[in-house]
């Protein structure tokens, strides 16, 4: 049963003893329904979207809008609120250098878009700085945006993973670029990701003083995350729902998501398994001569023909998968093919920014020099 606010005000004024809303006039934009129990009006207030948005905004990190806009314009990516909230958390730990708040304790440094919050970009000497290559490691696909760097020996780093460039990240992942292309899911926000990393550190620490420091940080991080309403689970329901949309895992394991309609148009499988495709790639890379390498490329050329047929029939996910697998294999022998496959796939999927990123990355792909702001 529902009623207008004006009518409810009238009822409350006429029968004040039955009304449980003493401040109806102060109610924001809302719809009100009610039930009658034991001769008393029991209101059910449903806040409208504007009111809910105001409530959400009250939970925003105290980071100036101008600075937020600067981060997002440099990367041309929207940043989630946990990105800014984590900066404020680190600011409390180390007000003078928030980026280094976790360096001495757990070996993690805030990088990438955090460098803009720290003002480091203002000291950049290059006028043609490409922020989407800033802290982009060798195996980072365009979907991955590094925000935290760890052990330089393994090139451990954490980052946001997006399926679509104009949407918010689907989760936070980690990779060790010196070891492999594999991206692991470590939570749907940066608090959860760092919490997991911290928990692993605590298991290995034997020194009591160091253990005490880590526990203090862990407690502070946990408390802050809970106050802000962030889940600290490694795998949330939202992440599980995203997993159901994955059409193929690919070599990096993070999976690819493409639109697939009710007639299953959007993706078709490659004719080779991951294991077979890796064997084909190995034969190409290990070929003793260019002539042998050209012959070893035959199965890839055949798959590229299948991709052309698939694209003609709107199964854009096939070329996307092949391109990503070859990118993840990492050999420069595949860079030209990767550029063709992924650029086309991203543009067909209307993920144009990702096409730009992969083209720029392939042109300057390197194991080192990931910090574009380094002097």
The residue length of the chain stands at 375
What six digits make up the tokens of 195? 């919490």
Cα(62)–Cα(1) distance, integer angstroms:
41
Q: Dihedral, CA atoms, 60, 57, 174, 324, nearest 10 degrees?
A: -140
Cα(4)–Cα(39) distance, integer angstroms:
19
Cα(40)–Cα(265) distance, integer angstroms:
56
- Helix crossing, 317-329 with 274-285: angle to 10°? 50
Strands ordered across the beta sheet of 156-161 = 109-110, 144-149, 156-161, 171-176, 184-185
Q: Is 30 helix (H, G, I), strand (E, B) or coil?
A: strand
Q: For residue 142, which of 372, 337, 365 has the smallest C-alpha distance? A: 365
Q: Which residue in the list 91, 313, 321, 359 is annotated as catalytic?
A: 313
The three-point CA angle 168-225-184 to 5° equals: 55
Cα(138)–Cα(21) distance, integer angstroms:
61
For the chain, helix (H) and strand (E) counts, in that order, are 15, 10
Let me know if 313 is a catalytic residue.
yes
How many CA atoms, within 13 angstroms, populate the side-chain half-sphere of residue 222? 12
* SS3 labels along 132-144: HHCCCCCCCCCCE
CB 152 within 8 A of CB 145: no
What six digits make up the tokens of 369? 């020099």
Q: For residue 317, which of 360, 284, 351 has the smallest C-alpha distance? A: 351
Rg of the chain on CA atoms, in Å: 26
Catalytic residues: 313
């Amino acid at each position: 049963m529902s009623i207008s606010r004006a009518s409810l005000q009238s009822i409350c004024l006429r029968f004040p003893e039955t009304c449980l809303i003493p401040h109806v006039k102060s109610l924001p934009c809302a719809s009100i329904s009610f039930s009658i129990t034991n001769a008393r009006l029991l209101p059910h207030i449903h806040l409208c979207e504007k009111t809910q948005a105001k409530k959400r905004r009250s939970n925003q990190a105290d980071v100036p809008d101008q600075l937020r806009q600067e981060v997002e314009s440099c990367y041309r990516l929207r940043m989630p609120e946990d990105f800014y909230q984590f900066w404020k958390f680190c600011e409390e730990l180390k007000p003078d250098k928030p980026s280094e708040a976790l360096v001495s304790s757990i070996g993690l440094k805030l990088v990438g878009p955090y460098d803009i919050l720290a003002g480091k970009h203002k000291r950049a000497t290059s006028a043609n700085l490409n922020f989407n290559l800033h802290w982009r490691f060798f195996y980072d696909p365009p979907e991955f945006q590094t925000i935290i760097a760890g052990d330089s020996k393994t090139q451990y780093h954490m980052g946001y993973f997006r399926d679509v460039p104009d949407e918010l990240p689907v989760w936070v992942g980690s990779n060790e670029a010196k070891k492999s292309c594999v991206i692991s899911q470590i939570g749907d926000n940066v608090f959860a990701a760092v919490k997991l990393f911290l928990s692993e550190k605590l298991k290995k620490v034997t020194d009591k003083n160091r253990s005490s420091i880590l526990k203090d940080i862990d407690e502070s991080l946990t408390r802050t995350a809970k106050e802000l309403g962030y889940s600290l689970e490694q795998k949330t329901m939202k992440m599980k729902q995203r997993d159901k949309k994955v059409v193929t895992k690919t070599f990096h394991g993070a999976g690819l998501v493409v639109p697939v309609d009710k007639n299953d148009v959007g993706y078709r499988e490659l004719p080779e398994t991951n294991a077979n495709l890796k064997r084909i790639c190995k034969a190409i890379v290990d070929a003793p001569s260019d002539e042998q390498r050209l012959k070893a490329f035959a199965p890839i050329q055949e798959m590229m023909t299948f991709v052309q047929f698939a694209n003609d029939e709107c199964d854009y996910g096939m070329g996307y998968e092949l391109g990503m697998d070859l990118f993840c294999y990492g050999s420069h022998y595949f860079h030209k093919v990767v550029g063709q496959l992924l650029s086309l796939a991203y543009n067909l999927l209307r993920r144009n920014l990702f096409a730009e990123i992969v083209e720029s990355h392939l042109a300057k792909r390197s194991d080192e020099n990931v910090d574009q702001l380094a002097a």
